[in-house]
Chains A and B, each alone.
Chain A
Amino acid sequence: MEVFLFYIAGFVSLTATMLVITRMNASHALIYLIISLLAIAVIFYLLGAPFAAALEIVIYAGAIMVLFLFVVMMLNLGRSSVDQEQHWFLPRMWVMPGILTTILLLEMIYLLVAPTSSAGISSSGTAVSPKEVGITLFGPYLITVELASILLLASLVGTYHLGRRYLRARREEIA
């Protein structure tokens, strides 16, 4: 049963991701990207990681994608950008990425069906509770968490700096 659900969620996420790439309208592409992230959250849940699934929705689908959509709304892309996209997005652009992804797909199918495969899906995976995630994150992986937070702090300071320059220029303009 869980294997079926896994394949359904996998199919949805793959199809949605394909549609993200091929849509000409930016807001439609974003909606498919959100669907793809939701499907990945379902996969996380099935593999016994409810905490990762919840965070996938809260952070990726619920916050980061909202910001993407925010930018799309700010730019207010209309008919003209769709035409432009159509002009840029030619069939011959497909060839190289197509070949490369087919190789990867074949490799993955081989890994799934190969008898000695260790990458097969096990529906007997044990569920990991939020507490265990926390203990692992702040135990053996503490340095990674700290490095990630330093990276975020750096980007925060950088963004603030860029904004400040803009604000100062504006203030001088007014004065």
Chain B
Amino acid sequence: MQSEFIMILPVLLGAMLGAAALVWWERRLLAFWQDRLGPNRLGPFGSLQIIADVVKLLTKDDWVPPFADRVVFTLAPLAIVAGMLMGFAVVPYGPGLHIIDLNVGLLFFLAMTSLAVYGVLLSGLASNNKYALLGGLRSAAQMVTYEVFMGLSLMGIVIQTGSFNLNDIVQAQEDMWFVVPQIVGFVIFLIAGIAETHRLPFDLPEAEHELTAGFHTEYSGMKFGLIMVGEYLAVILTSAIIVTLFFGGWLGPDFLPPIVWFSLKTAFFICFFILLRAALPRPRYDQLMSLGWKILLPLTLLNILITGAVLLAMEG
């Protein structure tokens, strides 16, 4: 119990610093893939750009529009960050390295990501602005849709492990990573993860060419900063969960400690998320929705059915 309390601080620090570092890292990587330079002036490789950005955000005028719903408008960005940070509580970072070892850990992660939706929805609603409202509406429909497959795509793993506990799921991948038998589940979870974090190419709630900035049109200063941090936290959390569920978590050859394996794998998926942003165009909104309901949902159900049948046949 004691050691688990001690874990809270490093995890919190790691997640926040990671999110801050991503602000710079994403711009550098995008620039690299697009044959540009990106921020390279401040400090080594431009890494002090983060500090410059924070100073800029903190000193900017933090404006609350007079027509907005003040209390909800202020609380909504907090809900985004809080929901995502809570999700980090169940991730196993190494053998015995976790904040809480819940026997419903996987469901806890799904619950926390689904609560983070409210931040987006309420910021759209409280802004009292047409663009923000449309962005919020889009994200509500998009996230409810993709939450369904996000949960169901993981049920194949739960069937194979026989547990919702994330530590058990990592242990069960000793012989083979779940990405091999659950390749369909992995692809669906990845797509749903992008849609849930509303990153490009699925960033339709904030599509700037049609909705100005979507749900955060009215936000400025550090409130906007919090929304950005929430988005980067979501990227880190989704990558960490993908690694835990499909790529063996902290398992790896002995020459590196488990936590390093975990961090390396997570970093790889964070870069993959950024590569997707650099490489793919944005679909139309109706295409996004019909892809979800008409293709991904039947595929997910089929995946659960086949996993169950194969397991039953192997046991019987």
Contact = CB atoms under 8 A, between A and B. Distances in A.
Contact of B102 (A50, A58, A72): A50
What class of interface size applies to chain B in its complex with A? 20 to 34
A54 B107 contact: yes
B118 A73 contact: no
Interface residues of A, number: 26
B140 interface: yes
B192 to A, nearest CB: 14
B109 to A, nearest CB: 10
Contacts of B6: none
B296 interface: no
Contact of B107 (A28, A51, A61, A74): A51
A73 B103 contact: no
Interface stretch (A4-12, A63-71, A86-94, A163-171): A63-71
A129 interface: yes
A51 B110 CA distance: 13
B22 interface: no
Contacts of B164: 130
A58 B140 contact: no
Contacts, number: 79
Contacts of B151: 58
A57 B133 contact: no
A131 B114 contact: no
A51 B136 CA distance: 30
A62 to B, nearest CB: 3
B121 A69 contact: yes
A53 B104 CA distance: 9
Given A31-B122, A73-B124, A130-B104, A57 B137 contact: no
A124 to B, nearest CB: 19
B80 interface: no
Contact of A62 (B72, B114, B141, B163): B114
A166 B32 CA distance: 50
Given A58-B110, A62-B117, A72-B125, 11 more contacts: A27-B122, A31-B72, A54-B108, A61-B115, A62-B115, A67-B140, A69-B140, A73-B121, A73-B125, A73-B136, A130-B107
19 contacts: A27-B122, A50-B102, A50-B104, A51-B104, A54-B107, A54-B110, A57-B114, A58-B107, A62-B115, A62-B147, A66-B117, A66-B121, A66-B140, A66-B144, A67-B140, A69-B118, A69-B121, A130-B103, A130-B107
